[in-house]
């Protein structure tokens, strides 16, 4: 008789070391210069975009923001997917949208909730969505997208489409019941879905050691009978390789997979958080200096003679100018019409919605100073 409490730790797959050197040449993807530079430029763009919008929130120009600092290598997963694959994000996957072609104007319009916002001003900043790019709109409640992803993947399977669903979430979301329901459904129904867990060490202020026992999140996938791999989350090519392999399993064999990407959140959880309250600044700086995914990838590019300091400086100057231009334009647009609050809720407005709209109209007429309609688009 033997009770089993633990097994040997699941190994971590990597292609590059922290200096950007290839560990095993057989693992190095055979890609073009254009392809690799595109990924790197998107990482830099995301980094500069985060800096500008984070500061904009601190200035009171937008209400909320979340950065991707330290986790930019997940853009490698976007490169490993097909553009028709459906993405369910959590809230730190704007790099996937960037890779797929979401424009700087679209990012800015959403964060400003202006009249050009695809979401019609109904979402918090960074809650992006794009039907054109097969990216489901992000919602704030934690882990709700995970069972939705399993269902969407089952739908693709039933329709006979040769595509899969990619579902991103953090290790904190894996503590929600939705996570377990989703994995069980995906395993038993053989759904073509990839579960991508960004294990960045913290669920807001709760460190991983206080969240769970056992061998991380990857061991849970094995428990549900799902093909599972743990990967270096700061290694672009490792993430790219495992995503391509996971997609092949999902599309060709209808086998769901779980990827646990081990990384570190350099920034605060959001603009509503001060991470210095629960971790030392030295710890953050050490991670930023010793295992930076952008620097690691840049070293690899420079070894190939595909990048250098001059090009880096020129691109950063150019992309900052483009981002600030989009920022300036978005700030000048008005807000969507107030009536958008009531549109698209149902196919036809229900009696209670009609009554609520009438009530708002009466309030605006009674207290016009409290409702600056000149800031909103007219209908």
Q: Annotated catalytic residue: which of 94, 219, 270, 275?
A: 270
Q: Tokens standing for 326?
A: 């989009």
**In the annotation, is 83 catalytic?**
no
Cα(379)–Cα(364) distance, integer angstroms = 15
Distance from C-alpha of 282 to C-alpha of 346, rounded to nearest angstrom: 51
| 167, 88 contact by CB (below 8 A) | yes
Pairing between β-strand 227-232 and β-strand 12-13 as defined by DSSP bridges: parallel
Give, as one character, the DSSP assignment of residue 305. T
User: Nearest CA to 40 among 351, 261, 292, 322?
Assistant: 292
Q: Measured between alpha carbons, how far is 197 from 233 in angstroms, rounded to an integer? A: 10
Catalytic-labelled residue, pool 33, 63, 84, 140: 140
Residues 6+ apart with CB under 8 A from 253: none
- Residue 155 annotated in active site: no
Active-site choice (94, 106, 269, 340): 269
72 part of the active site: no
Distances (CA, A) of 93 to 46, 72, 131, 135, 172: 10, 9, 16, 10, 16
DSSP secondary structure of 211-266: H--SSTTHHHHHHTT-EEEEEETT-HHHHHHHHHHHHHHHHHH---EEEEEE----
Class of residue 374 by CB neighbours under 10 A (exposed 0-12, middle 13-18, buried 19+): exposed
Nearest to 197 by CA among 224, 163, 174: 174
Beta-sheet pairing, 206-207 with 202-203: antiparallel
Among residues 55, 253, 283, 314, which one is catalytic? 55
Catalytic residue positions? 55, 140, 269-270
């Amino acid at each position: 008789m033997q009770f089993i409490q633990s097994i040997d730790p699941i190994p971590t797959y990597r292609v590059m070391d922290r200096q950007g050197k290839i560990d095993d040449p057989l693992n190095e993807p055979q890609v073009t210069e254009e392809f690799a530079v595109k990924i790197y430029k998107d990482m830099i763009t995301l980094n500069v975009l985060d800096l500008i919008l984070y500061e904009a929130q601190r200035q009171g120009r937008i209400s909320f923001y979340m950065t991707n600092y330290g986790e930019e290598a997940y853009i490698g997963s976007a490169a490993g997917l097909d553009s028709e694959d459906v993405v369910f994000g959590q809230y730190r996957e704007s790099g996937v949208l960037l890779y797929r072609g979401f424009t700087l104007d679209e990012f800015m319009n959403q964060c400003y909730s202006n009249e050009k916002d695809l979401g019609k001003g109904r979402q918090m900043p960074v809650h992006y969505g794009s039907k054109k790019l097969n990216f489901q709109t992000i919602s704030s409640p934690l882990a709700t997208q995970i069972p939705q992803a399993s269902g969407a993947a089952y739908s693709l399977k039933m329709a006979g489409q040769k595509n899969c669903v990619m579902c991103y979430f953090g290790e904190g979301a894996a503590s929600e019941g939705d996570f377990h329901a989703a994995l069980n459904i995906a395993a038993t129904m053989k759904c073509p879905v990839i579960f991508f867990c960004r294990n960045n060490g913290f669920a807001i202020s709760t460190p991983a050691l206080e969240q769970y026992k056992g061998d991380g999140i990857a061991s849970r996938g094995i428990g549900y009978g799902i093909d599972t791999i743990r990967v270096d989350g700061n290694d672009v090519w490792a993430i790219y390789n495992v995503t391509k392999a996971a997609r092949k399993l999902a599309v060709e064999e209808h086998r769901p997979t779980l990827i646990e990407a081990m990384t570190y959140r350099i920034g605060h959880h959001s603009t509503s958080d001060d991470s210095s309250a629960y971790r030392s600044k030295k710890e953050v700086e050490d991670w930023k200096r010793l295992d930076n995914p952008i620097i690691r990838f840049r070293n690899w590019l420079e070894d190939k003679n595909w990048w250098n300091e001059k090009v880096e400086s020129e691109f950063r100057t150019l992309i900052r100018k483009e981002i600030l231009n989009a920022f300036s334009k978005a700030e000048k647009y008005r807000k969507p019409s107030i009536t958008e609050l009531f549109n698209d809720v149902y196919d036809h407005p229900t009696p209670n919605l009609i009554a609520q709209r009438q009530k708002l109209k009466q309030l605006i007429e009674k207290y016009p100073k409290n409702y600056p309609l000149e800031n909103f688009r007219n209908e």
